[in-house]
Amino acid sequence: MYANTAYNMYAQNNVGIESPEKLITMLYEGVLRFNAQAKKAIKDKDVEKKVYWINRSIAIVTELVAVLDMKQGQISKYLEGLYSYEIQLLSLANVENNPDKLDEVSNVFKGLLEAWREATNVGK
């Protein structure tokens, strides 16, 4: 269900994306934005918005798993496990109304975004 949602959303809204590297950057940034919105919804006790924003983050992370090139070896396996764990944390944040779990996911994606930008020179 979520597998193509994130990609389609960004592809439709950003027809002029220059590269796959830029798309990954945008997906990582999307997780950070959506988690911030979900955290605000938890604080505001707005269950509907919390679910909406967490589901959007889950959709992006699910898409990131789906597009991994497993021929790249250990890094792909590592990212698959990491992304799967982040999906679990997002689900727990949703069920438990736990903003700390959202922070944990956001911290991981901040690190991934920084490393990705450094590796690809996107956003510099």
Tens digit of each residue's pLDDT (9 = 90 or more) over 24-75? 999 999 999 999 999 999 999 999 999 999 999 999 999 999 999 999 999 9
CA-based nearest residue to 29, from 102, 110, 89: 110
Q: What is the pLDDT of residue 16?
A: 58
Q: What is the pLDDT of residue 14?
A: 53
CA torsion sign, 107 to 108 to 113 to 115?
positive
Q: Does domain 5-120 have CATH number 1.20.120.340?
A: yes
* pTM for this predicted structure: 0.84
The number of beta carbons lying within 10 Å of the beta carbon of residue 107 is 12
Show the CA angle centred on residue 12, arms to residues 11 and 18, nearest 5°. Answer: 45
CA-based nearest residue to 104, from 119, 87, 116: 87
20 confidence band (pLDDT: 50, 70, 90): confident
The number of beta carbons lying within 10 Å of the beta carbon of residue 4 is 14
Q: Residue 3 pLDDT > 50, yes or no?
A: no
